[in-house]
Structure 1
Amino acid sequence: MSSPDLTLYTDTAPNGVKITMALEYLGLPYKTVTVSISKLEQKEPWFLEINPNGRIPALVDNTGGKQKKLMESGAILLYLADKYDPEYKLSYPAGSDEYYEVLEWLFWQVGGLGPMQGQTLHFLHYCVSKSPEVRSYGVARYQNETRRLFTVLESRLALQKSTKSSPFLVGDHLSVADLACLGWVLADNFAGIASEDYPLLNEWQDMVSGLEGVKKGLEGYGIKKVGQDPELTKIASEYNSKWIKIQFEEQLKLGQK
């Protein structure tokens, strides 16, 4: 097989670090192009040619001279596992029980934990509405749902510990299911979720974050530290609120056309 020729388009966000963790853990060479979401570079024409949805991350694989463009973090994780993980370091053989369990938890994250926690962060820190009722309803709605989803993860880890003596979400080793969830769980305090309320989940995030490869893939992702420091939280909230407001206004303009 040709040496991998991979380019990752990303920024330091929960969905972006999923891919850097996977690439580093698998020991794959790759180039990184920073797409600054605070400057709305993800909406620029050059990036929309790579990912028409205008979101990070995106991956371009030019291995062997044949180009493949991928969007959506879950799809990228599955692609890397299928094509570049023959030793099943982050995956399980197709058709096995563990293979389908990985799919379950990966889809659970991209369809539930990510969107719900993302909305929690929006209403808690970046809401552009001047109505306190809108903000308080949004925070309560999405924060409560995020807590429910954290409880689901806590229960899963308890089951794994009791039945398989495993600290991972699926099977007996790290998988893309763990990596898909980790970036969001690390944002627990930033989302107003007390990590001490979920002891197994707290142990899991510390353990997985410290694994060789995963740790390197998380470099520059300081969401945990930000969430634990009120002053850093305030700074991050104010900074992100500015560009999110600009993006919101741009979306309103598009909707009026």
Structure 2
Amino acid sequence: MITLYTWTTPNGRKVPIMLEELGWPYEVRPVNLGKNEQFAPDFLKISPNNKIPAIVDHDVDGGPLSIFESGAILTYLAEKSGRFLAPSGPERFRAMEWLHWQIGSLGPMLGQLGYFAKRAEEKTPAAIARFTEEGERLLGVVERQLAQSPYLAGNAYSIADIAAYPWMLAATTFLKEPLAEALADKPATERWLQEVGERPAVKKGMQVPQV
């Protein structure tokens, strides 16, 4: 059994999607970021950076194993299951490239855009312009890649797609206003969003946690 600590954010949706894809049983422990529950001492023992998601895998030799950081969790689950990440070779590293691209670029840049353009009470035009420009660039990166392959890492659906999907969906919903121009005329991205979004596991995972 796996215990999942998560919340209703793009980062928080990645791991439940993966667990639903695997069909593994798991227990959900919501961590309400609005109430600062991520700073609770018990959660700090599991996630030293006070961030969601995190998991505890209770079916490990030597006792429970806790893992934080979404990319590490997705890689761990992929390797444990033997699914959604090639065991070796170029296919594996293509998926790892795009997984780390999401972690290092897409998520942080869109997260900053969301803060400055949507959530901040005092708007800072320079910051909004900076992160809008970078968000537009990243959407262009996605479109070019998906125009030449069905999925981010090539022909196979992988943990790279699982990681990117919640953030790309946020770009077309929560961030639709600042990114409207960049979202126009992106047929490959639209195709990918629809195809990935129609997967039953993705639909279920995007509803976790239910609060």
User: TM-score normalized by structure 2?
Assistant: 0.91
SS of residue in 2 equivalent to 1:171: coil
Query: Of 78, 92, 105, which residue of structure 2 is paired with 1:99?
Result: 92
Mapped partners of 2:131, 2:26: distance in 1: 36
**Cα 1:19–1:220 shift into 2, 3 Å:** closer
SS of residue in 1 equivalent to 2:29: strand
Mapped partners of 1:26, 1:104: distance in 2: 22
SS of residue in 1 equivalent to 2:66: strand
1:199 maps to which residue? 187
- Letter of the aligned partner of 1:6 in structure 2? I
Matches within 5 A, 1:29-68: 29-64=25-60, 66-68=63-65
Mapped partners of 1:141, 1:100: distance in 2: 30
2:140 maps to which residue? 151
Q: CA deviation at 1:64?
A: 4.2
1:137 maps to which residue? 126
1:127 maps to which residue? 120
2:174 pairs with 1:181: no
1:8 maps to which residue? 4
2:206 maps to which residue? 218
Contact 2:38 2:44 in 1 (8 A): yes
Q: CA deviation at 1:93?
A: 2.2
Contact 2:7 2:31 in 1 (8 A): yes
SS of residue in 2 equivalent to 1:52: coil
Report the number of matched residues: 204
Contact 2:5 2:28 in 1 (8 A): yes
Q: CA deviation at 1:50?
A: 0.8
Percent of aligned pairs sharing the same letter:
41
Mapped partners of 2:207, 2:48: distance in 1: 28
Q: CA deviation at 1:196?
A: 3.1
1:226 maps to which residue? none
**Cα 1:220–1:71 shift into 2, 3 Å:** closer
SS of residue in 2 equivalent to 1:170: coil
Contact 2:16 2:208 in 1 (8 A): no
Contact 2:56 2:67 in 1 (8 A): yes
1:77 maps to which residue? 74
Contact 2:7 2:209 in 1 (8 A): no
Q: CA deviation at 1:172?
A: 2.1
SS of residue in 1 equivalent to 2:147: helix
- Summarize deviations over 1:134-167 as a string: whole Å, max 9, x none: x11111100110110110010001121xxxxxx2
Relative contact order, higher structure (CA 8 A, sep 6+): 2
**Cα 1:148–1:221 shift into 2, 3 Å:** farther
- Summarize deviations over 1:216-240 as a string: whole Å, max 9, x none: 1112689xxxxxxxxxxxxxxxxxx
- Summarize deviations over 1:45-88 as a string: whole Å, max 9, x none: 1111110100110011110462111110000000000112x2x3
Mapped partners of 1:25, 1:209: distance in 2: 12
RMSD between superposed Cα atoms in Å:
1.6
